[in-house]
Structure 1
Amino acid sequence: MKLTGKAWVAGLAGVLASLLGQGTAAIAAEKIVLTYGPISMRVPITELEGLAETGEASGQLEQLLKLANQEPTSVQTTLTDPVPVNLTVLDLALNSLPGEWALDQVGEIIHPASGAGSRQALRSALIAAAADDNEITLLEVMQAYPTPELMVRGDRLLETYNRLYDILEPLEALADIFETDILP
């Protein structure tokens, strides 16, 4: 069944409203198990948020970055550089076969601690991260991740950002086509 542009947008709006309407009762990542090669440490997401704001690491994150020989400002940039994306096109793309493949690729680097439901959790986090401003940052994805604990391969964070950018950036060109050709 082919949906008209208005019906599809109305359906998407309903789904987003229900997701966003969960407010503070929704599950969100509180701890990140951050790994750099053989080094692994459980870090509160608040420490990543502090790094994103100030460019300075503290607590367990500071220890981990020192052990991994990582510059806090470099990690800050990777966490906070935005990727522009159209929410409607993002949703369409992530619910396609190539989108599922891309979710699986990124899911090797960012995934639930349990390992179950990685594709669905990542899709949800990406949509939630883009919902308010049509931009996605890695920190927003981590903040929106629908599990209390999240595994992140820190040694591949920059690769993750680059993969997201390579996957999402071309969607911006499709957004113009989608909005002019599909939506009345």
Structure 2
Amino acid sequence: MRCQFLSVYRGLVLVISIYFILSGVPAFAAESVVLKYRIFRESVSVEELSTFAQTGKLSTSLRVNLALARQNPQAIRQYLTEPVKINPVILDKVLNSRIGNVILDQLTQVIHTRSRKADKQALRAALVVSASKDRQITLIEVIQNYPTPEIEVEGDRLESAYRQLRRLQGNLQDIFGF
């Protein structure tokens, strides 16, 4: 019993530490997003994408980019803003397991750095920080909390990233009853 308590305590301390480290240092948050659709790629600011996600209002450049990529803005907005409820301590434990590495491998096919180095670690941190704020994750929060100045998002695979998070939520609910 004591060992289980210490394990949960350590996980909670880790989550809180990551949250304070990343949220307290704005330089470690993503500033721009390179939206990629097959051969088309365009950089937009995280602020611009966040405004679209929150209000539904498209900036001129984002409107043009989505039109050129033949993407439905409302579908993109839904994937960015639809919350996935998740316990941050359990999420941290799962993401640091073999199963979590498989999940991170799949998600880093959609959200990653240009260099593709330390993608799993960066995504793990962004997911945990996002969940620690309100016990839920949205893809726009993950993008906002990504600990590099620039992030690449495979726009045509955004739906698959959202569905992967939903599956993770469902599996954790089945296992832990959360």
TM-score (norm 1): 0.89
Cross-structure match for 1:83: 84
- The CA distance in 1 between the partners of 2:141 and 2:173, in whole Å, is 19
Cross-structure match for 2:24: 24
Structure 1 residues 31 and 6, CA gap change in structure 2 (3 angstroms)? same
Residue 11 of structure 1 aligns to which amino acid in structure 2?
Answer: R
Say if 2:73 is the partner of 1:72.
Answer: yes
Cross-structure match for 1:10: 9
- Give 3-state SS (helix, strand or coil) of 2:33's partner: strand
User: How many residues get paired?
Assistant: 176
- The CA distance in 2 between the partners of 1:86 and 1:16, in whole Å, is 11
Deviation at 1:3, TM superposition (A): 6.8
Please show how residues 155-170 of structure 1 align to structure 2 within 5 Å. Answer: 155-170=156-171
Instruction: Name the % identity.
Output: 37
* Per-residue deviation, residues 67-120 of structure 1 (Å, max 9, x unmatched): 112222111111000111111221111111111011011101110122100111
Q: Which 5+ residue runs of structure 2 have no aligned equivalent?
A: none
Cross-structure match for 2:135: 134
Please show how residues 143-162 of structure 1 align to structure 2 within 5 Å. Answer: 143-162=144-163
* Per-residue deviation, residues 128-147 of structure 1 (Å, max 9, x unmatched): 11001111111011111111
Which moves more between the two structures, 66-75 or 7-16? 7-16
- The CA distance in 2 between the partners of 1:89 and 1:12, in whole Å, is 8
- The CA distance in 2 between the partners of 1:64 and 1:137, in whole Å, is 22
TM-score (norm 2): 0.91
Q: Is the 8 A contact 2:16 2:132 kept in 1?
A: no
Runs of 4+ in 1 over 6 A off after TM superposition: none
Q: Is the 8 A contact 1:56 1:72 kept in 2?
A: no
Q: Is the 8 A contact 1:86 1:175 kept in 2?
A: no
- The CA distance in 1 between the partners of 2:20 and 2:173, in whole Å, is 27
Residue 19 of structure 2 aligns to which amino acid in structure 1?
Answer: L
Q: Is the 8 A contact 2:112 2:119 kept in 1?
A: yes
Q: Which 5+ residue runs of structure 1 have no aligned equivalent?
A: 178-184
- The CA distance in 2 between the partners of 1:136 and 1:172, in whole Å, is 15
- The CA distance in 1 between the partners of 2:168 and 2:19, in whole Å, is 24
Cross-structure match for 2:54: 53
Q: Is the 8 A contact 2:30 2:147 kept in 1?
A: yes
- The CA distance in 2 between the partners of 1:13 and 1:169, in whole Å, is 22
Q: Is the 8 A contact 1:41 1:60 kept in 2?
A: no
Deviation at 1:11, TM superposition (A): 1.3
